Structure 1
Amino acid sequence: MQYINLADNIYFLGYNDRRTNLFENIWPIPHGISYNSYLIVDEKITLIDTVERSFIDEYLESIEEIIGNRPIDYLVINHMEPDHSGALKAIVNKYPEITLVGNKKTFAFVESFYMEPENVHMVHDNDVLELGKHRLQFQTIPMVHWPETMVTFEETNNILFSGDAFGSYGTLDGGIFDDEINLDFYEIEVMRYFTNIVGKYCPHTQRAIKKLAPLNIKMIAATHGPIWRTDLDWVLTRYNKWSSYDLDKGVVIVYGSMYGNTQKMAEVIARRLAEKGIKNIRVYDASKTHSSYIINDIFKYKGFIVGSPAYNNALFPNVQTLLSTIEHMAPKNHYLGIFGNFAWNGGGVKNLKLFAENIKWEQVYEPIEEKGSLKKERKEELLKLADAMAEKLHADFE
């Protein structure tokens, strides 16, 4: 195997998944994803998290190649989600004297997923585990993004093993560290990972960032994506911005359309916004673009305008799916506009109004609904909706 060291006797054990199409069986990962585990060889040998179960054989072989017949003393469990705990049972079976290290919420997850743990060491905030030359300090960061989530800070080299926090979609294609890769590729994948996986818990992320600020972190080693050792601010500033709902000047327009009439309404709005000086405009057909990418831009831009035809007296299904996801994620600080179309009975705009009530974003203009093809009167209303949105955004970003 190739030995990749974060520091003396601290090893990266990472595996690239280029076969899985949907992460958590929901989110598209066309560029794959990595699963990162870490091994510290000292007087006490310690694993930091494990890997997804499909890599168990290779993972066990890599560990044995490094430590030989020595036992593993500790397995630190920062996060129990199966893509990181998938090899836990195999590790315990091979190293039966191993001690599982976690917080008060960790071991109930171990029992519910795998087995009743026998050897456990419970840690709390600021507790330290002595390995020899290396010292591990623990901090809980609940709901980033599971209730048991914690991070491990290796004090000797100032390495933060951060679990899912500061992670990314995308495989590690040769380059492991941030200074070995072109970060332009990860610009979207880091944000999409945040918005899809962690974005529901922005207030918790803010609390975690503040809690970890006193640590003298020199390297961040997450369980997905690159290891940050040169430009930590690249990922830290972005996480702070996204979790603060610090939005940019722009508008996301999403529509569903069966025969093109609702799409025409969206095009009118988009053109008017451009005429009014809005440069960041993203128009999406909800039937074509997965919500993963649309959610990403909603976390980026302050304006959101959504349109739906009536479909069996209800919302167009693909629009309904997106809006349910948005309500679940509950991003803040947006301006909202809604429009729609119907042929013989309403249902689209009526349900968009319910979305507006639930999400509690400020509506910039009254809902607009057309029957059949777009007519002059409704077109004028759409222009007014675009004008109102542009006016709000210009005022906010002067």
Structure 2
Amino acid sequence: MHNIENVSDDIFWVGVNDRKTQRFENYLPLDKGVSYNSYLILDEKVALIDTVEIGTSENFLEKVEGVLQGRKIDYLIINHMEPDHAGAIKDIIRLYPDVTLVGNVKTFPMLDAFYDCAKEGCENNRLVVKEGDTLELGKHTLTFAMVPMVHWPESMVTYESSTGTLFSNDAFGSFGSLDGGIFDDQLNLSFYEDEMRRYYSNIVGKYGAPTQAAIKKLGGLDIKCIAPCHGPVWRTDISRVLGHYDAWSKMEPEAEGVVIVYGSMYGNTEKMANAIARQLSKEGIIDIKLYDASKTDHSYIISDIWKYQGLIIGSCSHNNAVYPKVQPLLSKLQNYGLKNRYLGIFGNMMWSGGGVKGIQAFADSLRGVEVVGEPVEVKGSPRSEDYTKLEAIATAMADKLKAARK
């Protein structure tokens, strides 16, 4: 059977790649696709770890049947009920009606909510597991750990002790289809790490405290392989991916650079953004990411905000408020509780302000975000004295970043 990989002698990757879906959860762009990873353990008892999104079920089932060669599935482990992982549960039950569904006390109410189980015949053969419970397959032993709110209440992970494999579901996942290899040592990690950060910051990012709790809980395990439900399987540098999640869940920046994001109707706020970027460069800041909030999907902007220590936000005034393409970004960052960042503020108006005032209110609502320099609001096209004030924001930001190097 083609396009099936051995994670170990008896553990098989039976995942699929989705290069057709345009938006994950119908709002995050999938320019480079996404994988739905599922794993099959062959032993005295057979266990399937999670399934796939329903639109890719046919390919998935072909792989499962190809590995089984007529055997049945004894257990279906449901680590997470989100439909991109649970979408093919009904198909598995139809093909293997004696399968036992394994989940925790919060799993099955969600299963019943998503699927009319009395009608679909999936109300029986349930095994409810709790923290630390084990399931013997033969040579392989599965242990279950609850990781609530990473990133749903019923989220759990499954650890296979003989191989040290952690089936982590959404934890340590990444956007991007697996184009050839499935392991970290077979892939260009610079791409997947960027997509992993975009995945984490936009989906899991709000749940830093639960993620920290999960990292501490899993830290005692002898993990030799991390097998998530999206993106690469990690078998070479486990500490690298654990380190990423540790830093991201604390909202600790990775690098010194600055993200400048602005909303501009007629180009004046854009002129201001360009002036700030130019001065940052003169101050020796190399990593400068300049984004028009009307053009770039916010998921990419948020990923870079997670990466860099400096953030400068500009908005023209729109109906006495923040520009409509900037406001959703502020709302999400506020909802996530952004911290450990330096923030600069600028904007443009004509007869009535509102953009700068709104960004200032956003800054005031956050703990751990320090405003650098004096906010600048310009009426109409910026003049020489305005550019001097904008350059002062850039200089103040550069000074803060340089001081943080020490």
TM range (shorter): over 0.9
User: How much has 1:187 moved relative to structure 2?
Assistant: 2.7
Structure 2 match to 1:374: 382
| Pick aligned residue for 2:391 from 374, 383, 388 | 383
Amino acid at match of 1:394: K
Instruction: Give the distance between the partners of 1:179 and 1:391, measured in 2 at CA.
Output: 39
User: How much has 1:30 moved relative to structure 2?
Assistant: 0.7
Q: Secondary structure at the match of 2:295?
A: coil
Instruction: Give the distance between the partners of 1:65 and 1:334, measured in 2 at CA.
Output: 50
Structure 2 match to 1:208: 214
Aligned-pair identity (%): 56
Instruction: Give the distance between the partners of 1:297 and 1:285, measured in 2 at CA.
Output: 14
Structure 1 match to 2:66: 65
For the pair 1:340 / 2:341, whether they are aligned, the reply is: no
User: How much has 1:109 moved relative to structure 2?
Assistant: 0.8
Structure 1 match to 2:223: 217
For the pair 1:285 / 2:286, whether they are aligned, the reply is: no
Give the TM-score of the pair, scaled to structure 1: 0.96
Q: Secondary structure at the match of 1:148?
A: coil
Structure 2 match to 1:83: 84
For the pair 1:353 / 2:363, whether they are aligned, the reply is: no
Structure 1 match to 2:156: 150
Point out where structure 1 has 5 or more consecutive residues left out of the alignment. Answer: none
Instruction: Give the distance between the partners of 2:192 and 2:8, measured in 1 at CA.
Output: 24
Instruction: Give the distance between the partners of 1:328 and 1:218, measured in 2 at CA.
Output: 35
Instruction: List per-residue Cα deviations over 1:270-313 (Å, max 9, x = no partner).
Output: 12222222222211111111111110111011111101001122
Alignment of 1:1-398 (within 5 A): 1-2=1-2, 3-116=4-117, 117-247=123-253, 248-360=255-367, 361-398=369-406
Instruction: Give the distance between the partners of 2:402 and 2:63, measured in 1 at CA.
Output: 56
Q: Secondary structure at the match of 1:31?
A: coil
Q: Which range is displaced more, 349-358 or 7-16?
A: 349-358
CA RMSD of aligned residues (A): 1.5
Instruction: Give the distance between the partners of 2:127 and 2:403, measured in 1 at CA.
Output: 55
Q: Secondary structure at the match of 2:205?
A: helix
Instruction: Give the distance between the partners of 1:8 and 1:375, measured in 2 at CA.
Output: 69
Give the TM-score of the pair, scaled to structure 2: 0.94
Instruction: List per-residue Cα deviations over 1:38-92 (Å, max 9, x = no partner).
Output: 1112221111000000122222232222224433211111111100000011212
Instruction: List per-residue Cα deviations over 1:363-397 (Å, max 9, x = no partner).
Output: 11332111101022322221222222222222222
2:100–2:127 contact (8 Å) kept in structure 1 = yes
Point out where structure 2 has 5 or more consecutive residues left out of the alignment. Answer: 118-122
Instruction: List per-residue Cα deviations over 1:236-266 (Å, max 9, x = no partner).
Output: 2222222222212221111111111111111
Instruction: Give the distance between the partners of 2:241 and 2:160, measured in 1 at CA.
Output: 19
Aligned residue-pair number: 398
